[in-house]
Structure 1
Amino acid sequence: MITQPNQETFDLLTKAENFLSLDNQNHSVERVPSPIEKSKSSMSDVPIIDVKVFLERLPGWEDECQKVKECLHKYGILIFRDPRANQKDNEDYIDMMEEYFARTSQIYYEGQELRDAKPEFNYLTGVTPEQIEKARNHYEKVKDLPEEDKPLSQFPPTYDMKWRYMWKMGERPEEALDNFPQIIPDGFPDWEDKMNAWGCKLLQAGQTAAEMAALGMGLEYDTFTKRLEGGAHLLAPTGSDLVRNDVGTTLAGFHYDISFLTCHGKSRLPGLYIWLKDWTKVAVKIPDGCLLIQAGSTFEHMTAGYVLAGYHEVMYTEDTKRAAEKLKQEILENESNRQLWRVSSTLFCQMRYDVDISPMPQLSHLYEQEQARKYKKMTAYEKLMEELRATNVAFIKE
């Protein structure tokens, strides 16, 4: 079995979580309008970004950059139609991850050692079992929302019932504090090829979105991407067992991501909910041929809240169960070896460890100085460690 931190460590981490959740210095900008005053948004309000127009510099490519800026500011998300994101790569990747999570969880439940789990590296490489990650407590932010917009996950948060795998994408500087070894599981000869094939597509999308955002905000095209070079980009699929769990299970509690941008491919099963900037809760249905890109807390920090980190959760709902029952029938009819797991398709696009993520003076035309003071000076690595301590996965001394 993997080595777990002792009770004293858990208590310290819990205190850190409570403290950081109440600390308004780093994540304090209120979303407007208030829940009572708002007119509700929906996914259909969010325009689709035509990435091909930008990549080929077709007429109107500047307008697409403006749409990226406006969507990130108004909604916190992008619906990104990227011609490079081949759906077959996503399908091959999900097939492999279903098998991996099913096989690895069985080893875990039998009490055997999980060689792919690396708590000594803060689980930033290899597998993270269920009931390790736990979201910050954001109850104060959502307690007054209408019932239809409230999270389904519990407060205070419980431990997530998802598994996760962290796979490094791209090169990192040798001296980087987050340059942990790559973990390659046994028994999957195509692992590297399939992970890299899909991961590269998601990373490309994140980098292109960063370029378009910079241009839309009136910056040089590489303002963000040069800071992303050497970043701790992670292809981070999650897996949830739809046999051992049932309706009502929190697969991933209500949270935002640490990343600059988070890129989501299409999952085969429902359960992902996101909150738009006006606190409207939306069940995610990614259009065919598109990716969903969501802003993370690093983007919020650098823009002093002009772009806010997007909240989301993954729940085992009645819709998930219906889709799982349909999939189960297909597996039986086709005598398939498919596993009944919900696998995500997620990549965290991160700033390089030494990048100063303080509010950027170049963007001062987009925010007020009083607002900027709420975001303290820190590096991307300091932000990473702050968030890991708050979410129960920082087990090593700095």
Structure 2
Amino acid sequence: MKKALFRCKTCGAEYDARKPVFRCSCGEPLDLVWDGSGIDHSQRCQAKRYSAFYPFEDEEWVPLGEGGTPLVEVKAFAAELGLADVRVKNESANPSWSFKDRGTAACVAHARALGYSRIGTVSTGNMAASVAAFGAAAGMETFILVKGDMAEEKMAPVAIYGVKLLRVQGAYDMLYSESLRLGEERGIYFMNSDVPFRAAGSRTISFEIAEDLGFSVPDWVVVPTSAGGNIRGIINGFEDLLKAGMTDRMPRFLCAQAAGCSPIATAFAAGAGKVTRFPSPHTIAHAIENPFPPSGNRTLSELRKYSSVAVSVSEEEIVKAQADMAHRGLFGQPGSCVPLACLRKAKAEGTVAEGQSAVLIMTGSGLKYTAAFAAHRLNWIDCSLEELGEKLK
């Protein structure tokens, strides 16, 4: 691993990235500082295509083909909203069916560079499967800590990778800090939701969006937000492109949350500089249900820096968005469909203007949470072979 830094944008503190530092001493998240840039157009996987943006040696990466996901133009949504262009970044095309693979790949490279043989994470689902997959590929002992109420249907797809899977009772946000403490004590690299290289891995989403648009920048990038690591990484990615002279401006960002768990949107609407714990969170969008996001404060400051916004939407709006996206061939888990619902609300309220462009980040596959089917009125027809001809009229 080459020399690089982690920097806290809140207090300005800097740390050597070649050491296991996961958070600033002030309590806020850290960002990768690295001057490298460049694109290998012969490669598709992020570990190869964008390796110049990272301080790792080639042998430190363990790629599984992450990245290179489709940016799908949806003319129907553009026409509905009166926008020039609406596209969906389909992150379900990653190896474990979610955007988490980007950050996991970068974290595993960092762990290997630092000499770790044991890795882990705290997750509600997507990150658990991602870390399990990459841990298996890297031959590393892997510990996955999940919420005490995680459904068995979500446990088995993680356990199949041969990891040590622990369902832990207690406050989920407290599990985050406790895992980092125990990881330091026991030599386990916990690549949680917003550690530096997890956020840094999400930068490649921005790189791919810009590339696919001919290095033009959309007016809006709409990101479903839980801990805040993904939206931080996407913002940093567009900053990298601007710094490298590959683009000429920054987009605005829409932090998309469910009303049933919206600590960032609530703080933003109140004009607050810090998030507070969201009381009694409950939403069908389980993947973004984090009542006290560790990158919440940073997300607020970044949104204001770039004249951006945070929006929350109801359960009904989320379910409708999921159905509407599926009817256009894009089946995302409920949290992945919150961006469409939030874009609709922002357009109706005049935040997003007529004729602008937007990219929606669809973070994970709808197959990740099949319990959501119960919220839809789905139907089918049973018939006999003899009746088939009649039914096909």
Q: TM-score, normalised by structure 2?
A: 0.31
Larger RCO (CA under 8 A, 6+ residues apart): 1
Relative to its length, the structure with more helix (as a share) is: 2
